[in-house]
């Protein structure tokens, strides 16, 4: 598809002030499709299926450590940071504390994410946008579980934790988007034909719910279908994923530009 080629080119041509590569940090509940999303992008960039970060449906946490994924060509523009999925309860919340450390670039590739977290003073004092900090956050949520989230959620719930992390990201001035995954499971029409995504009532409802619960703006919400069991590439799936990435890249460009100017 010509449109996809144009999107790919636009991403490949992005220029970031002060750094060569945009750091995109993925945050979301366990099993939301974070790793699958990263693998999907890499597959699109390569033009074939690729698995850089383990994504398996075992029902429990698959990604157990920070994985930084980057590559050649177009992929040199993007560095993905894949994190451990957020789960309900658990106190102290090591995963959320750890994600806050990752935001400020304080965690290394393959560092286990279940280790005791370090103190917050350190986080604040070391903060300074750089090659290792996040330049845009991609929140990833399964579109099918959105309607189980509550507006006035209490502490310990997944939605509370996500809102808390959103606040942190906003406080730091880091831009963010929301990727809604598994839209194929929302309704049969989308499952059969991904091109009806933007006409689908189910997708519209999911987008509205995400706006209401989390306060995302509509232009920042991207419904996608990740590659999972497919063996071949699908240009319509690619398009939805590329649109999300383009927005994340544009936000990274703006963010890094603002930092240089101020």
Ligand X SMILES: Nc1nc2c(ncn2[C@@H]2O[C@H](COP(=O)(O)OP(=O)(O)OP(=O)(O)O)[C@@H](O)[C@H]2O)c(=O)[nH]1
Smallest gap from residue 171 Cβ to ligand X (A): 24
Partner whose binding site includes residue 77, from ligand X, Mg ion, none (CB under 5 to 8 Å by kind): none
Q: State residue 118 phi and psi, 5-degree precision.
A: -90, 170
- Identify residues 22-81 at the interface with ligand X (CB under 6 A): 28, 30-36, 55-57, 61-63
Residue 8 interacts with ligand X (CB under 6 A): yes or no: no
Q: What 3-state class would DSSP assign to 64?
A: coil
Partner whose binding site includes residue 30, from ligand X, Mg ion, none (CB under 5 to 8 Å by kind): ligand X
Residue 228 interacts with ligand X (CB under 6 A): yes or no: yes
Interface with ligand X: number of residues (CB under 6 A): 22
Interacting residues with Mg ion (CB under 5 A): 34-35, 62-63
Smallest gap from residue 22 Cβ to ligand X (A): 20
Q: Which is nearer to ligand X, 61 or 164 (CB)?
A: 61
Structure tokens at 32: 């939301």
Q: Bridge-partner residues for 22, per DSSP? A: 78
Exposure string of 140-153, with b = 16+ CB inside 10 Å and e = fewer, is bbbbbebeebeeee
CA angle 55, 60, 64 (to 5 degrees): 65
Distances (CA, A) of 53 to 49, 164, 252, 262: 12, 26, 22, 36
Smallest gap from residue 125 Cβ to ligand X (A): 29
Half-sphere exposure of 94 (CA within 13 A, CB side): 9
| Candidate list 79, 81, 168, 182; residue touching ligand X; CB under 6 A | 182
Query: Do 147 and 224 touch, CB atoms closer than 8 A?
Result: no
Q: Which is nearer to ligand X, 191 or 208 (CB)?
A: 191
- The helix (run of H) or strand (run of E) holding residue 80 is strand 78-82
Residue 202 interacts with ligand X (CB under 6 A): yes or no: no
Residue 158 interacts with ligand X (CB under 6 A): yes or no: no
Q: Which is nearer to ligand X, 157 or 185 (CB)?
A: 185
Enumerate binding residues for ligand X (CB under 6 A): 28, 30-36, 55-57, 61-63, 85, 181-182, 184-185, 225-226, 228
């Amino acid at each position: 598809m010509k449109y996809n080629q144009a999107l790919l080119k636009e991403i490949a041509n992005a220029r970031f002030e002060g750094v060569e590569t945009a750091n995109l940090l993925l945050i979301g509940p366990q099993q939301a499709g974070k790793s699958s999303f990263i693998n999907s992008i890499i597959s699109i960039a390569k033009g074939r299926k690729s698995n850089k970060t383990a994504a398996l449906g075992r029902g429990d946490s698959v990604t157990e450590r920070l994985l930084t994924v980057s590559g050649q060509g177009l992929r040199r523009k993007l560095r993905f940071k894949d994190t451990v999925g957020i789960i309900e309860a658990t106190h102290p919340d090591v995963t959320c504390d750890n994600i806050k450390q990752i935001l400020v670039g304080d965690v290394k590739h393959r560092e286990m994410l279940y280790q005791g977290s370090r103190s917050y003073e350190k986080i604040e004092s070391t903060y300074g946008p750089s090659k290792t900090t996040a330049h845009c956050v991609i929140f990833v949520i399964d579109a099918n579980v959105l309607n189980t989230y509550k507006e006035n959620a209490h502490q310990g719930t997944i939605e509370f934790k996500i809102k808390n992390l959103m606040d942190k990201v906003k406080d730091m001035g880091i831009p963010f988007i929301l990727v809604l995954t598994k839209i194929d499971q929302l309704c049969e029409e989308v499952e059969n034909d991904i091109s009806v995504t933007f006409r689908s009532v189910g997708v519209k409802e999911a987008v509205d719910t995400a706006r209401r619960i989390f306060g995302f703006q509509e232009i920042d919400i991207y419904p996608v279908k990740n590659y999972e069991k497919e063996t071949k590439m699908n240009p319509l799936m690619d398009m939805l994923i590329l649109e999300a990435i383009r927005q994340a890249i544009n936000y990274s460009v703006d963010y890094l530009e603002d930092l240089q100017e101020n």
